Amino acid sequence: MNEKAGKGLQLSWNHLYEYGVFVIFLLMIIVFAFSNPHFFTVKNAILIVEQSSPLMLGVCGMAFVLMLGGIDISAGANMYLSAVTSALVMQKFAESNGPGGSAVYLIGIFTALLVGAAIGLVNGCFIVKFKMVPFIMTLAMTSVLTGIGLILTKAELLPVRASGFQPSSIRVGPVSMVVVIVLLFTVVFHYLLKYTVYGRQLMAQGNNEEAARKLGIRTKRNAIIAYVICGAMAGFGGVLSAGQVGALSSNFAKGNEFDIIPAAVLGGISLFGGKGSILPGAVIGIVLVNTITNGLTMMAANPYVYTIVRGVIIFIAVMLDSMNYKGELR
């Protein structure tokens, strides 16, 4: 009797969930465009894409961890410490070999990837081997990483550009090198998640770990790899972001995980695991988050309003995700 009505309602919720992000996106653009003539311009669009790019790497990595039903709160602190380590290594290198040259780029990015991956490995091993709750494990990690970063920098401003690391100054057409690299990686990770055995099995175990184990899928190995990918991408994003900013303050990348995770979730990747993909959802998610920040800046809003808006974004992202979760029969 009531079944039909119930179904109709469910359908509309599903629609809201599926297209809600796009609707919000459009509304935001309209509001911002009307409030500031400089908002709806090609120049500003490119700026938003540039700003989104380093975080997009973080979203790519986070997608793997979220697919498991896990989470990595330490992404922001990872970005910070990876960037700091990388900047220090580059500084040393520039001191002995002089600034500039492609070698600086290679060394800088390699260091950040390595540090990030190592952090991810520690996260993954503790979470998988000791069955620690991912949230708490990575929260503790956040504190440790921030502390190490502060000791290394003595909480002073650390210059990055001085060693010749300026990835955003290399232009490829209208955008910088950073955007191109990030796009490339985004496609690769999308492919990895969607079209390889690893990605498919990761999604399977995120849905029903017990069944996956019964089939002989190496669930522990897969999970650790997911955290390593997440860590490495956060590190990579960190160093690219540092190149954009030019110098590292002690507040660098602070709280970035709360842009990365909601962006992924807004893009359709479920916190409950096993759902979503990087393209196009997650990309739209991160651009959306940055568009809002950008728009608010242009409206000359009170900077404390960002904090509120960020909270509201997290709230909306998680609410949509939870409403759509049907508590599958296991």
Nearest approach in angstroms of CB 131 to another protein is 16
Q: Which is nearer to another protein, 201 or 249 (CB)?
A: 201
Q: Which is nearer to another protein, 37 or 327 (CB)?
A: 327
- At 325, list the tokens: 């979760």
Q: Which is nearer to another protein, 176 or 186 (CB)?
A: 186
The whole-angstrom separation of Cα 146 and Cα 153 is: 11
255: alpha, beta or left? (left if phi > 0; alpha if psi -120 to 50): left
| Beta strands 171-172; 158-159: pairing state | unpaired
The whole-angstrom separation of Cα 212 and Cα 42 is: 47
Nearest approach in angstroms of CB 278 to another protein is 15
Please give, one letter per residue, the 3-state secondary structure of 8-23: HHHHHHHHHHHHHHHH
**Alpha-helical segments (H) within the chain:** 3-35, 42-67, 75-97, 102-129, 134-153, 177-195, 197-207, 209-214, 219-245, 257-266, 283-298, 303-324
Contact 62, 286 (CB under 8 A): no
Q: Which is nearer to another protein, 42 or 197 (CB)?
A: 197
Contacts of 212 (CB under 8 A, 6+ apart): 201, 204, 205, 219
- CA–chain centroid gap for 238, Å, is 10
Which residues contact another protein by CB under 8 A? Answer: 191, 195-197, 200-201, 203-204, 206-208, 210-212, 214-217, 274-275, 326, 328-330
Nearest approach in angstroms of CB 118 to another protein is 26
CA distances from 34 to 27, 41, 154, 178 (A): 11, 12, 45, 30
Q: Which is nearer to another protein, 86 or 205 (CB)?
A: 205
Q: Which is nearer to another protein, 195 or 315 (CB)?
A: 195
Q: Read off the amino acid at residue 35.
A: S
Q: Which is nearer to another protein, 276 or 285 (CB)?
A: 276
